[in-house]
Amino acid sequence: MKKTAFLFPGQGSQSVGMGLELYEEYVFVKELFDMVEEISKINISKLCFKGPLEELTQTINLQPAITAINLACLTAIQKENITPDISAGHSLGEYSSLCSSGIVSKEDTFKLVFKRGELMHRDSTLHKGAMDAVIGLPIDVVAGLVSDHQNEGIVAVANHNAEHQIVITGEPDAVKKVSSAAVAMGAKSLPLKVSGAWHSELIRNAQKEFGQFINEISFCEPKRPMVFNVTGNIVEDIDKIKATMAQQLCSPVKWFDAMRLLMQEDVEIFVEVGPGMVLTGLLKKILPKDYPCKIYRVNNMKSLEQFFKEVT
């Protein structure tokens, strides 16, 4: 099989009904849901399959929920002895990538994302935040606007998702002013439906506590390379991986850099493993039109069977 990358989505990819087909088809998926529900004490299966969407989208619920679907899809693929050559995950999805790379067990992956969701939820209730997508300007221009508005309040770059698609994060007024400045320069600005200012100083206390929690979790040497959000590069040392994962909460997600690295690594098959199609959409914006590759999504029985049919 050609060089393959598994990509794992994060918050924003959720929908009511996600994962239901896999849950009904495979015993091991039921076992995964039992595991995450035992750890979180939340009825994740009900939220995923029946909603309501507003409750599912609360970060304390959504982080274990998306991770459960990601790992259900991953495990279904692994049952056919298909493994990636390299992996990456977008923000929350990075924890599923840790599991895919053999760095963290499924159980510890759920422990990590549940703790992360608890802490982020706590800080988001203490510090109101907002996030906007700015479309149409390069990263250096958006970063410059953010720098110019530091006196307006806490505001930062949260995600560099594609060349001209950047998410900003921080206090609502400061985010609004940066967005207005971007619009004045010809960009589009879209407010995101989030419950907090992720990847900003507003959740710094969560990052500190989460860093302590990470040190209680067993990490292994990667079985396969993984590209990290904070660096946009491969990290192999266990201590550096732990430090990088702790930093991720308040650091920008360098997704554009990560995908460009996968191109340098000559990846020809990209598989979005989990709900939605956010990462597939970003890939189509990032990859040159003449770049030789195939892009798959695996999130239900039909897409799983199609993937198996074409790659095995």
Are 204 and 198 contacting, i.e. CB atoms less than 8 angstroms apart?
A: no
Are 3 and 52 contacting, i.e. CB atoms less than 8 angstroms apart?
A: no
Q: With helix as H, strand as E and coil as C, how does 177-222 read?
A: HHHHHHHHCCCEEEECCCCCCCCCHHHHHHHHHHHHHHCCCCCCCC
Catalytic-labelled residue, pool 45, 91, 189, 195: 91
Catalytic-labelled residue, pool 100, 179, 199, 251: 199
The label of the residue with tokens 């010809």 reads 186
Query: Over the stretch 64-112, which tens digit does the pLDDT of each residue have?
Result: 999 999 999 999 999 999 999 999 999 999 999 999 999 999 999 999 9
Is 91 noted as a catalytic residue in this protein?
A: yes
Alpha carbon distance 302, 308 (integer Å): 10
Cis peptide before 52, with omega less than 30 degrees from 0? yes
| Structure confidence at residue 195 (pLDDT) | 84
pTM: 0.97
Query: Over the stretch 260-307, which tens digit does the pLDDT of each residue have?
Result: 999 999 999 999 999 999 999 999 999 999 999 999 999 999 999 999
Q: Where are the domains of the chain?
A: 4-125+201-311, 128-191
| Structure confidence at residue 98 (pLDDT) | 98
207 pLDDT higher than 80: yes
| Structure confidence at residue 283 (pLDDT) | 97
Binned at pLDDT 50, 70 and 90, residue 312 comes out as confident
Query: Over the stretch 161-175, which tens digit does the pLDDT of each residue have?
Result: 999 999 999 999 999
CATH 3.40.1110.10 fits 4-125+201-311, yes or no: no
CATH 1.10.8.10 fits 128-191, yes or no: no
In the 8-state DSSP scheme, what is residue 251?
Answer: S
Query: Over the stretch 134-151, which tens digit does the pLDDT of each residue have?
Result: 999 999 999 999 999 999
Closest Cα to residue 287, out of 269, 311, 312, 302? 269
Using a pLDDT cut of 70, give the percent of the chain over it.
100
1 pLDDT higher than 80: no
Binned at pLDDT 50, 70 and 90, residue 50 comes out as very high
Which stretches within the chain are classed as H helix? 20-25, 27-40, 44-50, 53-56, 59-78, 93-100, 106-126, 139-148, 172-184, 204-214, 238-247, 255-264, 278-286, 301-311
Q: What are φ and ψ of residue 116, in 5° steps?
A: -60, -45
| Structure confidence at residue 294 (pLDDT) | 96
Are 291 and 263 contacting, i.e. CB atoms less than 8 angstroms apart?
A: yes
Alpha carbon distance 33, 64 (integer Å): 10
3-state secondary structure of 279: helix
Burial of 256 (C-beta count, 10 Å sphere; 0-12/13-18/19+) = buried
